[in-house]
Chain A
């Protein structure tokens, strides 16, 4: 079963624009992670935000976490064609021993 749900499921933007993806989840978490997957490839970790953190930055990535709303957002600034990929949020639920993924947002950046 999927714990998180990403929104939108698909996003198409022009190169240079910002891309925002949202993730909602259901249970209390230890942390929330964002991953990227290029077509036909494995998943690559982008950023991890802990339940006691509200915002985190890594290069062109900005992640926010609102535990009261059980939601997170991933912002990619100044997008590039190479950012074209699927992006997944993953939650590490408190009290459980598993990391579960959402269905993903498919991002297309048009050159």
Chain B
């Protein structure tokens, strides 16, 4: 059990650029979640995968955000045409069935 791994840890980008983050969950976990967290707030749900199927997506998520989980293993979160309001910590978590979530250390995005 090597834990949930997220890359990169930090990303600085200019407004309008596209960014992609990667999450490697714990290998036997079939559930994978993406959250966004800003300073002083709780994690905000973005999307959820069960194996390779994306089963839930927040209505707050604009069409600039897309996530994939090919083959039910690692996942990527892409943000197109970034805006300053996208600056946040992006957290990935995985779990086995309806059990506790294991979180990665997150990717801190700064949009200049």
Contacts and interface: CB of A to CB of B under 8 A. Distances in A.
A104 B42 contact: yes
B65 interface: no
Contact of B42 (A33, A42, A44, A102): A102
A42 B23 CA distance: 14
Interface of B: 33, 35, 41-45, 48, 50, 55-56, 58, 60, 91, 93, 95, 98-106
A33 B98 CA distance: 11
15 contacts: A1-B45, A2-B44, A35-B101, A42-B104, A43-B93, A43-B101, A45-B102, A48-B99, A48-B100, A97-B48, A97-B56, A99-B45, A101-B35, A101-B44, A101-B45
A1 B44 CA distance: 7
A41 B9 CA distance: 11
By size class, the interface of chain A is 20 to 34
A96 B56 contact: yes
Contacts of A43: 43, 91, 93, 101, 103
